[in-house]
Amino acid sequence: MKRIAVIPGDGIGKEVTAEGIKVLQHYLALRNLKEADLTHYPWGCEYYHEKGEMMPVDALDTLQSYDAILLGAVGYPGVPDHVSLRDLLLKIRQGFDQSVNLRPIKLLKGAPCPLKNKKPEDIDFVVIRENVEGEYSGDGHFENMDTEEATAYQTGVFTKKNTDRIMKYAFDLAQKRNKFNKVTSTTKSNALNYSMVFWDERFKSIAAQYPDIKTEVNHVDAISMYFIQRPETFDVVVASNLFGDIITDLGAALQGGLGFAASANLNIEGTYPSMFEPVHGSAPQIAGQQIANPMAMIWTVKMMLDHLYPELSHEVIVEALEEILVEEKHLTKDLGGHATTSEVGTAICNRLSTLVTLHLG
């Protein structure tokens, strides 16, 4: 039995998390696996309004014994974004050394794509984002804030340890995917003459250890253009914390919107639990209306299963998502449908019942 800490969080996080858990437990039963042991924690912005903190000071000690963490969303009006992000999400990522942020950029069959003449086989790549340092390290300071010389310093921190391991993970994944056997590095070394020059040097050094893998280096502004012009040429993309954050939202648009944006925050050494979260945010403007698209969360649950049960294939969950999309009978408002969040989750469970029986007997 896997022990999972559940943090539904804020806004639509609660609604999509409920559907993710529904699909998770149904799927485990279909596969004759033990039901997950779930513990819910009420942390987030509502907790902040009540307690003055996003989560307790000993939250990491509480979470450390779990096999995985499932996070719905954080953020709500009245709580500054830098508080809601840094005091929960980043504290967990950095505290548990979740060095890899894994974002699949894959256009599902039946999902809307804003690009003309692009099909599912044209948009199928992965972005590996460095997840614990870089521009999000939190280093910096203010000077002379009450004067005309007020200045803010934000320091990006890039270490050989973290830069090398994120790049090695990207190259290993390219070998495993066996698509183009290609890794693309995202840089901006023409302007960032320390951090990105260091990044480029480390990429060149790691690439030399993988002579069977092709490489490409793009500046972040150029790769944003290439995502639109030629998404079919990408396989594995590796990027720093900030650049990865930006280009993955662009990637989400290519795959039909944030309603499909799943992600994993991985502690690749296995010393701490990994955390899994859709990245659509808390969307407070639609919270409580049961119109949020739960597909990103359900895809996120599939990624969590990949992590918890790596010896098994869980692609049938993606297949179920695609069949629901193609059928068009159970879609939320953002996809032109009228189904509720809960109805979509139930429809996916029903489809899984058929597909698991079909594929696995």
Neighbours of 17 (CB within 10 A): 25
| DSSP codes joined into one string, 114-171 | SSTT--GGGSEEEEEEE-SSEEEEEEEEEE-TTSTT-EEEEEEE--HHHHHHHHHHHH
| Model pLDDT, residue 297 | 98
| Model pLDDT, residue 105 | 98
Instruction: Identify any residues that bridge with 45 across adjacent strands, giving them in sequence order.
Output: none
| Model pLDDT, residue 360 | 78
Q: How would CATH label the architecture of 114-254?
A: 3-Layer(aba) Sandwich (3.40)
Instruction: Tell me which DSSP letter residue 34 carries.
Output: P
Range(s) for CATH 3.40.718.10 in the chain? 1-103+262-361, 114-254
Residue 109 is inside which H or E element, if any?
A: none
| Model pLDDT, residue 9 | 96
| Model pLDDT, residue 65 | 97
Walking along the chain (361 residues) 10 residues at a time, the average pLDDT comes out as: 97 97 98 97 96 97 98 94 93 98 98 95 98 94 97 96 98 97 98 97 98 98 98 98 97 96 97 97 95 98 98 97 97 97 98 92 65
Q: What is the CATH number of domain 1-103+262-361?
A: 3.40.718.10
Q: What are phi and psi of 299, to 5 degrees?
A: -65, -40
Buried-state track 297-330, b at ≥16 Cβ within 10 A, e below 16: bbbbbbbbbbbbeeeeebebbbbbbbbbbeeeeb
